[in-house]
Amino acid sequence: MRRIVTSILSTISIMVLLFSYHTSTNGTTAAASPVVQQPASSGSTSPARSSKKTQHSTSKPGSAAASSATYTGGVADTQWGPVQVQITVRSGKITRARAVQYPQGNGNDAQINNYALPILDQQVVQKQTAAIDTISGATVTSGGYLQSLQSAIDQAHL
């Protein structure tokens, strides 16, 4: 399970279960058990709500007043391999987002990378006020990636 504590107004916890099965059009399956991650602290200044102080990645969170901080979303196993999202936050705004782990060694590399980066460029960086919580689409196979992006967004208190 991933547990993520975010802004002073709300506490968000995200739990992910990956049911991922072999299909005739894809490669081997990804993990089918819950992934346990401990997220970085939100750095919130609120005294009343619960918060966590554990770190889960090499990036360090800034406090609410910090000018810049880098948050890394949990690694999600997808049908093509592990995908991880890293976002950079400056003064509360996401200024950069990128995928930091790329699946290797199968013909779908270009597919997931092309799908991932435009989502980051357009939705996350340019449309921050849209603050999407989740995505409905005719999509099944990129769910692991989307959940990773969502975990990164929530860490940035959007």
Binder among 44, 143, 155, 156 for another protein (CB under 8 A): 143
Q: Which is nearer to another protein, 34 or 68 (CB)?
A: 34
Using CB under 8 A as the binding rule, the residues of this chain from 60 to 89 that contact another protein are 76
Point out which span in 14-22, 36-44, 58-66, 89-97 binds another protein (CB under 8 A).
Answer: 14-22
Whether 118 and 145 have beta carbons less than 8 Å apart is answered as: no
> Contact at 8 Å (CB) between 125 and 94?
yes
| Contact region with another protein (CB under 8 A), list: 53-61, 66-74, 89-97, 120-128 | 120-128
User: Which of 9, 58, 107, 110: binder of another protein (CB under 8 A)?
Assistant: 9
- Say how far apart CA 51 and CA 78 lie, in whole Å: 29
Tokens describing residue 1: 């399970």
Stretch that binds another protein, among 47-55, 63-71, 81-89, 96-104 (CB under 8 A): 47-55
Among 57, 72, 86, 147, which residue sits at the site for another protein (rule: CB under 8 A)? 147
Other beta carbons within 10 Å of 86: 19
CB-based contacts of 147, cutoff 8 Å, min separation 6: 14, 16, 74, 76
- Pairing state between β 81-90 and 76-78: antiparallel
**34, 16 Cβ separation under 8 angstroms:** yes
153 lies in the site for another protein, by CB under 8 A: no
SS3 call for 66 = coil
Can you give the binding site for another protein, defined by CB under 8 A? 1, 3, 9-25, 34, 49-50, 52, 76, 114-115, 117-119, 121-123, 127, 130-144, 147, 150
